Structure 1
């Protein structure tokens, strides 16, 4: 993405690039100060090291909006330089920014960094959330990248909450506390890797979540955190997600043998059984990690 010029009346559309070293530079909603202009110009010319050097010292001083702007430029420059650890350090705090464009751009850049490192599960999560924070073409690009990463990670195709409408250059939007969840349709699409369960139960003695008062049960549903060809990979993911499940009051993830639509044997990582999709989606948000709500009925 490219930034707004300091004297622009309206923000330009943010441009995604497809080169391996592609990066985003979006400051559409915060009207960059004049002292950022040189850093932005250097970035646009591909002089990422100078762009980084001009902004890194300002990430810890000045008003919050200026610190975030400097961190966004420095973080994106670090990503373009292949300094993924530094990019992550600078951009991760920005995903909580009240400015949705800053938060969404940080998310998208982190997603691109995760793609570069082959972590398509993390990339799916970042792009999915970026798609709801950004608007217009940028939201559509984030959705496309989320879907591509999900395929590579062996996750079902994500679905998305509505993207925000475009805003003016001086609009400061408050980010919501909710996390957009990734869910799937009850019936998997052809070629999906979500896997069908060989049995409708998950482990033994797993508690069943109760629906909200007055809600009619429409389940059962479970949370799935991926399906893998290698059991060792499934075991690794189960260990990785155990603490997140515990925080949400879920049992430790269980590994279940499943088959996908092509008949291939996979090992799914799942936790919990729910009587309603709404409760399952709410619990998934509480975990704070990427997963899908999977219908067990008829499996």
Structure 2
């Protein structure tokens, strides 16, 4: 897959095309798929665009939606973003979550390429919630990149952490760890919509945290994927994931490894 770890926010058109290819391969073909799917996966975008456009005009239902998806992705690969948007925009609320997720991901990557990071973050976060496994993780990673560009590191770290938990791809895991490792790691023992609940949990784990030398627990203000307030209970700061993993075991099932905040 595409590695953006060196310059995660400098996505030129070829980067976006490769990212979309990664998101779609192996997941969109149905039993009634036409040649356009294999043409697209083979990089034959012009042929895929012709086949998919014709199929979308003639078909209906799920087959029409799949053809429209390939037509939109092919248009994007040929540097026709406006046409790609016309095909894809109506698919983001499709009943098929895979089609909706891939359309959202592609549109989000188009916006990321345009440096429209607010819209990119929303679309890619939506895609991450619609897709599953490695596809969801990749969408989440790029959503994190968009949030980073917006100056919202907590939202970015949340996306990176979710993506890391979802993926089974070793290369993608390493890429996500590189992003997370920029600020170190912490142990998160709770996430709450109300601050009072976060403060109560912080008091409950205080003696354990101090006893192991991790310091006082802290309540970190963040936001969820819909922009709503979220209060995270975190403790300790570790320079490596291995150190954090050792500490996590001392807090049972409630502890997860997260990126440490940069402002504490």
TM-score, with normalisation over the residues of structure 1? Answer: 0.47
Matches of residues 16-27 of structure 1 in structure 2 within 5 Å? 16-17=1-2, 19-20=14-15, 21-22=17-18, 23-24=20-21, 25-26=24-25
Is 1:116 the counterpart of 2:100? The answer is: no
Query: What is the aligned counterpart of 2:89 among 71, 92, 104?
Result: 92
Counterpart position of 2:69: 72
Counterpart position of 2:27: 28
- 1:200-236, Cα deviation, whole Å (9 max, x unpaired): xxxxxxxxxxxxxxx98859xxxxxxxxxxxxxxxxx
- Tell me if the contact between 2:53 and 2:67 (Cα under 8 Å) persists in the aligned partners: yes
Over the aligned positions, Cα root-mean-square deviation in angstroms equals 3.5
Q: Distance in 2 between matches of 1:86 and 1:120?
A: 21
- Tell me if the contact between 2:194 and 2:230 (Cα under 8 Å) persists in the aligned partners: no
- 1:263-283, Cα deviation, whole Å (9 max, x unpaired): xxxxxxxxxxxxxx9xx97xx
Q: Which runs of 5+ in 1 are unaligned?
A: 1-15, 167-188, 192-214, 220-276, 286-290
Q: Distance in 2 between matches of 1:88 and 1:27?
A: 22
Q: 1:32 to 1:190 in 2, by over 3 A?
A: same
Query: What is the aligned counterpart of 2:104 among 104, 107, 112?
Result: 107
- Tell me if the contact between 1:27 and 1:69 (Cα under 8 Å) persists in the aligned partners: no
Please state how far the C-alpha of 1:113 moved relative to its aligned partner.
1.0
Matches of residues 170-249 of structure 1 in structure 2 within 5 Å? 218=196
Counterpart position of 2:255: none
Query: What is the aligned counterpart of 2:41 among 44, 57, 80?
Result: 44
- Tell me if the contact between 1:115 and 1:123 (Cα under 8 Å) persists in the aligned partners: yes
Is 1:62 the counterpart of 2:46? The answer is: no
Q: Distance in 1 between matches of 2:64 and 2:26?
A: 13
- The one of the two structures with greater contact order (alpha-carbon pairs below 8 A, sep at least 6) is 1
Q: 1:33 to 1:216 in 2, by over 3 A?
A: closer
The answer to which structure has the higher helix fraction is 2
Please state how far the C-alpha of 1:29 moved relative to its aligned partner.
5.9
Q: Distance in 1 between matches of 2:97 and 2:38?
A: 23
Q: Distance in 2 between matches of 1:41 and 1:76?
A: 13
Q: 1:85 to 1:292 in 2, by over 3 A?
A: farther
- Tell me if the contact between 1:79 and 1:87 (Cα under 8 Å) persists in the aligned partners: yes
Is 1:293 the counterpart of 2:229? The answer is: yes
SS at match of 2:55: coil
Counterpart position of 1:134: 131
- 1:50-70, Cα deviation, whole Å (9 max, x unpaired): 110111133244321011010
Please state how far the C-alpha of 1:128 moved relative to its aligned partner.
0.8
- 1:65-115, Cα deviation, whole Å (9 max, x unpaired): 011010011011111111111111111111111111111111111111112
